[in-house]
């Protein structure tokens, strides 16, 4: 297989793995390499709240058994950070200075939690929930019956919030314009959804602006939030949930067009003939909206990975997105979102 096509996938999430297995099915002879910054094989980010339901062994959250990669002849490069992609020479440079050649590249690097720049000084005092390791750190920092303070409250955060409340923690949500992200909520609907959160046991403090996070006083919870009006709130952990921003910095010198994410056509093709993108990292041209837009949620992301892989192997299929993107309130008065479905 000396001359087999080398398909490289950057990103080990739902899009990347959906792409990898589709590539394998459609091109049995190709070389497939998945590159990930993380230390674990593929697990589902949407599964991370299970950490608070007793699932604290990393093997329990893996989507596939370890043999899966060997069985499908997929090379998984873990703990590997890509720093640059050069579209002209079709090469990838890693932080450890290795250079890898590719024939076709699929960028599925996803997104990372957005922290508003005005809070960036306090990053070290906040917890995150973007990876298994981060979820475990948060789990260990939150004592039994402790208080988690959530800033913003996107749908990733609200998924965690409902789990925390179910298992006996106190959750205080500082709601703002990012609450319910990526859903766009009309002003007249917002009150109903906030009430539903309260019905679910989440304490909501609406329209306050945190300006600082401090270490808690002796004998008090570990953190203290300071508000613009001088008010304060104690909590054991503070977790920001302000939506996602694409992890696209390493593509800045690649030659592909970027706005916030990698700009792709409906076939998920970037402006480089040999580079495709899928998942939270890309903005897809929508003829209906006359604009580039993001599509979030497991169903969209998975479908994007598969569509991109089919197009890498010769198809010209357009990504259409899952139909219903609306947030709604179920019969039990709890919030339901297609974002949570997987």
Partner 1 sequence: MSGRRREEKESTARPAPAPGEGAVWYSDDPRDIGWVRENIPCQSACPAGTNIPGYIQAIMEEEYGRAYEINREANVLPGILGRVCSRPCEDVCRHAQPGNGETVNICHLKRAASDLKHVGHRITESLYGPSGKRVAIVGAGPAGVAAAHDLSLLGHDVTIFERESDPGGMLRYGIPAFRLPRDILQVELHNALRLGVELRTGVEIGTGEGQVPLARLRKDFDAVLLSTGSMAPVTLPLNAGPGKDDPESIEGVEYGLYWLMGSHRGETKSVGRRVAVVGAGFTALDCARVARRLGAEEVTIHIRTAEEYIPVTKDEIFECKREGIRIKGLRSPSQLSVGDDGRLRGVEFVQNRLGGWRDNGRRQAIPIEGSEFFEPCDTLLIAIGQRTVNDYLDVKLELDRWGSVKAAESGHTSKKGVFAAGDYVTGPTTIIEAVGNGRRIAAGIDTWLMGRQRRRQVVRIEPVAGPPRERSFDFIERQHMPTAALGERSRDLENEVETGYDEALAATESKRCYLCNLKYQIDVDNCIYCRACIEVAPKNCIKLVEGIEIREDGTYGKLVETSEWDEVGAIWIDNNECIRCGACFMVCPTKCISITRNEFVTQDI
Q: Among the candidate windows 35-43, 132-140, 252-260, 333-341, which touches partner 1 by CB under 8 A?
A: 252-260
- Candidates 112-120, 136-144, 164-172, 306-314 — which segment interacts with partner 1 by CB under 8 A? 112-120
Residues in 135-164 at the binding interface with partner 1, rule: CB under 8 A: none
Q: Total binding residues for partner 1 by CB under 8 A?
A: 24
Distance of CA 46 to the CA centre of its chain: 9
CB contact burial 40-79 (16+ within 10 A = b; e otherwise): bbbbebbbbbebbeebeeeeebbeeeeebbeeeebebbee
- Contact between 259 and partner 1 per CB under 8 A: yes
121 binds partner 1 (CB under 8 A): yes
**Which residue from 4, 63, 66, 99 is in contact with partner 1, where contact means CB under 8 A?**
99
Segment 228-247, which members bind partner 1 (CB under 8 A)? none
Rounded to an integer, what distance in angstroms lies between the CA atom of residue 125 and that of residue 142? Answer: 13
Our finding on whether 187 is near partner 1 (CB under 8 A) is: no
- Report the residue number, 201 or 255, with the smaller CB distance to partner 1: 255
- Contact criterion met (CB below 8 Å) for 56 and 139: yes
**Pairwise CA distance, residues 215 & 297, whole Å:** 34
Q: What order do you get walking across the sheet with 282-286 strand by strand?
A: 262-264, 282-286, 291-293
The token pair at 133 is: 């390791």
From candidates 120, 207, 230, 288, binder to partner 1 by CB under 8 A: 120
What's the closest the beta carbon of residue 44 comes to partner 1, in angstroms?
31
Print the binding letters for residues 74-93 with partner 1: x by CB under 8 A, - otherwise: ---------xx-x------x
Question: Does 227 sit near partner 1 (CB under 8 A)?
Answer: no
Q: Identify the three-state secondary structure at position 67.
A: helix
């Amino acid at each position: 297989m000396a001359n087999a096509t080398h398909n490289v996938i950057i990103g080990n999430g739902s899009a990347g793995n959906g792409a990898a297995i589709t590539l394998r099915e459609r091109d049995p002879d190709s070389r497939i390499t998945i590159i990930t910054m993380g230390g674990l094989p593929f697990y589902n980010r949407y599964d991370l709240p299970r950490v608070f339901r007793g699932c604290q062994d990393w093997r329990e959250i893996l989507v596939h058994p370890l043999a899966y990669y060997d069985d499908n002849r997929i090379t998984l490069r873990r703990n590997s950070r890509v720093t640059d992609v050069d579209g002209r020479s079709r090469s990838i440079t890693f932080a450890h200075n290795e250079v890898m050649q590719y024939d076709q590249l699929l960028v599925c690097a996803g997104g990372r939690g957005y922290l508003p720049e005005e809070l960036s000084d306090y990053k070290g005092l906040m917890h995150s929930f973007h990876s298994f390791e981060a979820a475990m750190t948060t789990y260990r920092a939150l004592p039994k019956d402790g208080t988690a303070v959530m800033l913003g409250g996107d749908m990733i955060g609200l998924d965690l919030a409902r789990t925390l409340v179910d298992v006996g923690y106190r959750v205080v949500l500082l709601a703002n314009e990012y609450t319910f992200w990526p859903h766009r909520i009309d002003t007249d609907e917002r009150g109903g959804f906030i009430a539903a959160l309260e019905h679910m046991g989440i304490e909501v403090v609406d329209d306050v602006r945190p300006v600082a996070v401090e270490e808690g006083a002796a004998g008090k919870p570990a953190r203290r939030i300071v508000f613009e009006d001088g008010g304060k709130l104690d909590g054991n952990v503070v977790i920001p949930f302000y939506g996602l921003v694409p992890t696209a910095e390493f593509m800045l010198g690649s030659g592909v067009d970027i706005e916030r994410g990698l700009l792709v056509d409906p076939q998920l093709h970037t402006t480089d003939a040999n580079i495709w993108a899928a998942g939270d990292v890309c903005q897809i041209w929508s003829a209906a909206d006359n604009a580039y837009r993001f599509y979030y949620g497991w169903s969209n992301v998975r479908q994007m990975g598969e569509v991109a892989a089919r197009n890498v192997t010769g198809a010209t299929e357009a990504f259409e997105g899952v139909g219903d993107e609306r947030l709604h309130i179920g019969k039990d008065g709890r919030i339901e979102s297609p974002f949570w479905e997987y």
